[in-house]
Structure 1
Amino acid sequence: MPNRLAHETSPYLLQHAENPVDWWPWSDEAFAEARRRDVPVLLSVGYSSCHWCHVMAHESFEDRATAEVMNDHFVSVKVDREERPDVDAVYMEAVQAATGQGGWPMTVFLTPDAEPFYFGTYFPPAPRHGMPSFQQVLQGVHQAWADRRDEVTDVAGKIVRDLAGREVSFGGSGVPGEEELAQALLGLTREYDPQRGGFGGAPKFPPSMVVEFLLRHHARTGAEGALQMAQDTCERMARGGIYDQLGGGFARYSVDRDWTVPHFEKMLYDNALLCRVYAHLWRSTGSELARRVALETADFMVRELRTEQGGFASALDADSDDGTGRHVEGAYYVWTPAQLREVLGDSDAELAARHYGVTEEGTFEEGASVLQLPQREAVADAQRIDSVRRRLFEARSARPAPGRDDKVVAAWNGLAIAALAETGAYFDRPDLVEAAVAAADLLVRLHLDDAARLTRTSKDGRAGANAGVLEDYADVAEGFLALASVTGEGVWLEFAGFLLDHVLARFTDEESGALYDTAADAERLIRRPQDPTDNAVPSGWTAAAGALLGYAAQTGAEPHRTAAERALAVVKALGPRVPRFIGWGLAVAEALLDGPREVAVVGPALDDPGTRALHRTALLGTAPGAVVAYGTVGSDEFPLLADRPLSGGEPTAYVCRHFTCDAPTTDPERLKATLNR
């Protein structure tokens, strides 16, 4: 018989709807039930494409004996961290403070007042490698609650007081300047891996936000070292197993330093960010590899993540059926030499093995290899390789596919909108721009209420119940701003303004300018989450700073620019110390130091060839964070276009800072030179 999760929209929660565990969704009713029964709350947090979440579910949550213990002694609450990043952030902070590490599934035991007192992540079904079994943990927590209640509540109270004291300190005031950005670059250089690209050791995550900073820093200062780190990192990732050499798109991270073996789940946010990064790398260098990866990644998102409603699904699982009934990580993606021969025949299989680095020993498990591009030299027979790739892709498509989390997350769709809009504009792919517009339409239609408040998630055309958090407002505004620049449709600028007004009114501390991850009127947790550092995506804090700055450049709105500058004070403090973890903030700081530049393109009509040539040139400018307004003479959709006449009757571009403009130009080459210096 299904439990209470059967009524939820989250695919992750629905995966647990048939468990024998008497699961509750996160709700006041669950904590009221714990108070009524005088038992602790067992909080389990994960997400649908999480490998170890599936493992623990199979080992423990599907086991009737374990479920019986959970049902007898706890109120068990299951949370999708992608639906409730605020709940996840608050308790993950407690887990990391108590244990020095974190991860998912996250397992936290709470008092009925939601105060945490015992922590962990994955627990095995039997004692293993010094870890207690999950049932041992359950019994131990139950006994402590029954026999040492005062001690438990004292611990919980101390933890909550400690968390309450962890407000973000700016460590100073003012915006980051040349010195802080130079120190950040030096810090990144020290942590850079010159042999393999990327930063630090294993596991290696794609450093999308850091690469964006490096590209912007090079564009503004000419620092060749910054560009070299960005180029080499992007090439190593694109040639490694973390990139899907057949279908395009990136896995979540590499378990090794060489980018060879990925954790195979594919997340929308990674692919949106990396699509945009590779498009920007091509814009800066003309790299054919960057162009190919940007387009393949965009095509992957549209082909495999787009939903029937026009939005983009959250993720593809790492695991899938290996054809024998086993659910195995990476089964969909890896190849043995025998499998190559079966699809391609002996001669082409030998070519494919050499081209993609498939060996008899294998680079993964059980003699299988992850496809890579180890050879840098030009392929002698590109047509034959194209045929091999197409046949392997078709054969792989017949394998049992990984599961898809069809949940549409507002923030991640905002990132995808920005990436697809720009990639489509750069490479003359109107279908990609159309996909971005369709996703934006869905967000407006389904996620935005009459007061322009965002709902975080939807599924199958049904909006979820959870309010948007700061990253939702910031990333959707970023996507709308990019769409406005690409399409010349001012309605997207207007919608971005509605969202950013909420950021100012409901997420910003008036006294300090600090930003919170949840709105002032959101559900109260044991603390109000607040984190300016990047994780797998830009922090809501720095994403908001970037969107506020871009909106101010488009409109001249001083409150938005002031808010952006106040928010960037944290980048001044953290950029020189932990540049890897505040890359987007550093990228926004580059835009601030450059102006950012404002480009107004006016013409007799939007489809006029001269107008389109200037517009395309403006979009391809490398000036950090530059905004583009595009319209006809007399258009009132963009404030930047006001009082911008044609020059000599020809389509004209104006390059401005703070609405003060250089001499207008009708020449795309002159505009290009202005924006690329």
Structure 2
Amino acid sequence: MRPFFASVRRLTVATRYHPSPALRRATLMTTPRLPVVQPMRSLHTTPAIHKPNRLIDEKSPYLLVDWYPWGRAAFEKAKAENKPIFLSIGYSTCHWCHVMEHESFENDQVAKILNEKFVSIKVDREENSGVDKLYMTYVQLTTGRGGWPMSVFLTPDLHPFFGATYFPPDDVGSHPGFKTVLSRVAKVWEDTPDALLQNGQDTIHQLRSYVQSRPRDSASDSLDADKIAKDACDHYASVYDASLGGFSDAPKFPQPVQMNFLLDYYGYTRLQQGKAETDGKDALAMVLFTLKKIAEGGIHEGAFCVWTQSELESVLDNQQAQAIIRHYGVQADGNVNPAQDPHGELVNKNVLTTQESLQETADALKMPLTELEKVLEAAKQKLWNYRVEHRPKPHRDEKILTSWNGLMMTGLVKAYQVLQDPAILDLATNTADFIHKELYRSDSKTLLRSYCQGPSAIEGFLDDYSYLIQGLLDLYEANKDERWVQWAYELQEKQNELFFDKEAGGYFTVQENDTSMVVRLKDEQDGAEPSPNAISLKNLIRLGTIMEKSDYVTHAQGTLDWSYRAMAQYPYAMPALVTSSLLMYHGVKQIVLAGNSDDKTMETYNDLVNQAFIPNKLVIQAKDSGFVHDHNSLIAKIAATSAQEQQGKPTAFVCENFTCGLPIQDATQLKKLLQN
């Protein structure tokens, strides 16, 4: 093995995703770490070889190329012909995935080697996240970093033996290009296949050993979630960019899990006295400033959105151009630092980024503030119209993911609760209806992963279940429609059956019956999305409270036991889990609304409850019949009491620590209680 790996250099691009330090230390892979080079800038357009397209029926747009999809046909071909598998993983909006497609996958010489020496498989990481998670973990552990496109070589038994990210088509100095890598891998496979087979087996053995070596941690019984949360907050404060916001140097990526944690941390500490209260206010300030900078900044970094100064001057009138150029820092030679444009894609271009306040711009241009606001608004509308009419629109991936739509439902509900716009809530409701109709098998109570011109055949992963359950619970709290909590309960029961680790606790990413997964991984870390284990922990607490399900408490404790040690050591890497642990530590604050739901007073109560920021809040409607009534004795009792003693008058109860307060029938009193 050593001569082959010594001759193949690793060519990768940096990514914001990092493996857990504990996992990296615990797993000792055999592949050496090799130097990094930047991707090439060239973009070849050699026409592709034409042959039968085995992916023509695939739903994902990224998969519509002439390779095998992930599945039995490819696996059996590799075994029958004794060929290694080349696995390429990417996604539709990944820039360098398309660069490698054009440079290499449409190159006659590359195609010839792949067709003769390999069985080639292409996977959309968004559609088949389980495959991506497994082999990304391998690439990160063996190279120290990861990214997309991901290029992995497997044995016919799906065991990885070499992997990296982007490869240019030709050699770059001492670094081999993709054609060289393919030729060397093929030669080693032909000459010494046993060595590669053994390497792959060793890799899988080590990954399995790591997963199985994470027993439940009894120390979680003494969990001090407040201390762990403070450690996480202190870390973010130490890396906080006080000038531009965020928690890293450029290039910056929005990290919702971090900001959600800091907001919840503020919520849990704002009523405490002393330093904890101060820490919470600092956490809130970091979030608000970061969001302000995102709103002012140039997060829109593609060709559809950037401008040269001459373009602006030709599209706008003189007054509009002066205002835009001044307020957004436009320069004749572009405002993008060349160090942040290594591939020369933004030369002489300007990313419109707010440089000063409106008043400062108005003063500089000797223009009344109200006039400047009108000028800027007219200019932005004119620029928008120009882009729509004259520029090619950015590519849009048309597939619908169950998991992402679950997250979107949560976002829509939060927006509705603040803005009180029924149209926003309708979007969330329509999304839930669509998933139930198109991506839910009511006979087996299972989810499908995605939809594009019809449902995919890929079954849902852990994140599909956990994110959707969260969205349904949020939707129930907003509109009190019990079909959402009933569906959430059905999904949670199925999630527990398919994914829960009964021995060590926590949830696996993929189902046990997925035979294409040589290792079932579990993940507590957050990336661009929250860890599904963290969301599951929160769902179990909320649903367990609504349904009075004691076994959900057991599952929640098992999940915490499994993840506790890693969370205690690296809380900044798993802020969503820390947030869920705070909920478990402090308990749920139930706000139960009972009485005539059509009464105007009830509408007022709902508005007050929706707009109160309480991170451990759980809103339940007490009805005299229905799904929740039949499963929750406390709710049934409150509903009966409301009918008998309050004569159906809208009433609120605040329940926590196994005790409910006195009935509240005054909006002012309820508002005051919610603030305390």
2:326 is the alignment partner of 1:332: no
**Which residue number corresponds to residue 133 of structure 1?**
177
2:482 is the alignment partner of 1:510: no
CA contact (8 A) 1:634 1:643 kept: no
Alignment of 1:6-85 (within 5 A): 6-14=56-64, 16-17=65-66, 23-85=67-129
1:129 Cα deviation from its structure 2 partner: 5.8
1:375-405 CA distances to partner (integer Å, 9 max, x unpaired)?
2455723233222222222222222111111
2:471 is the alignment partner of 1:484: no
1:572 Cα deviation from its structure 2 partner: 3.7
**Which residue number corresponds to residue 181 of structure 1?**
229
2:446 is the alignment partner of 1:453: yes
Q: 1:469 aligns with which of 454, 461, 464?
A: 461
**Which residue number corresponds to residue 643 of structure 1?**
637
Q: Structure 1 residues 54 and 524 mapped into 2: Cα distance closer, same or farther (>3 Å)?
A: closer
1:550-601 CA distances to partner (integer Å, 9 max, x unpaired)?
2123232222233223313355423343233211111212222332211112
Q: Structure 1 residues 662 and 156 mapped into 2: Cα distance closer, same or farther (>3 Å)?
A: same
CA contact (8 A) 1:95 1:119 kept: yes
Q: 1:602 aligns with which of 594, 619, 622?
A: 594
CA distance in 1, matches of 2:386, 2:671: 45
Q: Which residues of structure 2 form unaligned runs of 5+?
A: 1-50, 271-279, 337-345, 363-368
1:512 Cα deviation from its structure 2 partner: 2.6
Q: 1:627 aligns with which of 618, 640, 652?
A: 618
**Which residue number corresponds to residue 373 of structure 1?**
354
Q: Structure 1 residues 384 and 570 mapped into 2: Cα distance closer, same or farther (>3 Å)?
A: farther
Q: 2:208 aligns with which of 164, 169, 184?
A: 164
Q: Structure 1 residues 619 and 130 mapped into 2: Cα distance closer, same or farther (>3 Å)?
A: farther
CA contact (8 A) 1:605 1:632 kept: no
2:284 is the alignment partner of 1:227: yes
Alignment of 1:286-365 (within 5 A): 330-364=302-336, 365=346
**Which residue number corresponds to residue 20 of structure 1?**
none
CA contact (8 A) 2:327 2:358 kept: no
Q: Secondary structure at the match of 1:404?
A: coil
**Which residue number corresponds to residue 652 of structure 2?**
653
Q: Structure 1 residues 490 and 46 mapped into 2: Cα distance closer, same or farther (>3 Å)?
A: same
**Which residue number corresponds to residue 120 of structure 1?**
164
CA contact (8 A) 1:601 1:641 kept: no
Q: Secondary structure at the match of 1:76?
A: strand
CA contact (8 A) 1:116 1:159 kept: yes
Q: Structure 1 residues 183 and 580 mapped into 2: Cα distance closer, same or farther (>3 Å)?
A: closer
CA distance in 1, matches of 2:355, 2:293: 9
| TM, length-normalised to structure 2 | 0.83
**Which residue number corresponds to residue 109 of structure 1?**
153
CA distance in 1, matches of 2:622, 2:330: 52
**Which residue number corresponds to residue 498 of structure 1?**
490
1:491 Cα deviation from its structure 2 partner: 0.3
CA contact (8 A) 2:330 2:350 kept: yes
Q: Structure 1 residues 74 and 471 mapped into 2: Cα distance closer, same or farther (>3 Å)?
A: same
1:202 Cα deviation from its structure 2 partner: 3.3
Letter in 1 for 2:316: L
2:295 is the alignment partner of 1:238: yes
- Aligned positions, number: 584
| TM, length-normalised to structure 1 | 0.82
1:641 Cα deviation from its structure 2 partner: 4.2
Q: 1:146 aligns with which of 190, 210, 228?
A: 190
1:214 Cα deviation from its structure 2 partner: 1.0
1:649 Cα deviation from its structure 2 partner: 5.2
Letter in 1 for 2:322: E
Q: Secondary structure at the match of 2:162?
A: strand
Structure ID, larger Rg: 2
**Which residue number corresponds to residue 547 of structure 1?**
539
1:130 Cα deviation from its structure 2 partner: 4.5
Q: Structure 1 residues 386 and 60 mapped into 2: Cα distance closer, same or farther (>3 Å)?
A: same
CA contact (8 A) 1:602 1:641 kept: no
CA distance in 2, matches of 1:201, 1:570: 32
CA contact (8 A) 1:415 1:475 kept: yes
1:195 Cα deviation from its structure 2 partner: 2.6
**Which residue number corresponds to residue 42 of structure 2?**
none
Q: 2:130 aligns with which of 66, 82, 86?
A: 86
**Which residue number corresponds to residue 5 of structure 1?**
55
Percent of counterpart pairs with the same letter? Answer: 32
CA contact (8 A) 2:228 2:578 kept: no
CA distance in 2, matches of 1:524, 1:124: 29
Letter in 1 for 2:281: E
Q: Which residues of structure 1 form unaligned runs of 5+?
A: 18-22, 245-261, 263-329
1:192 Cα deviation from its structure 2 partner: 2.2
Deviates further, 373-382 or 390-399: 373-382
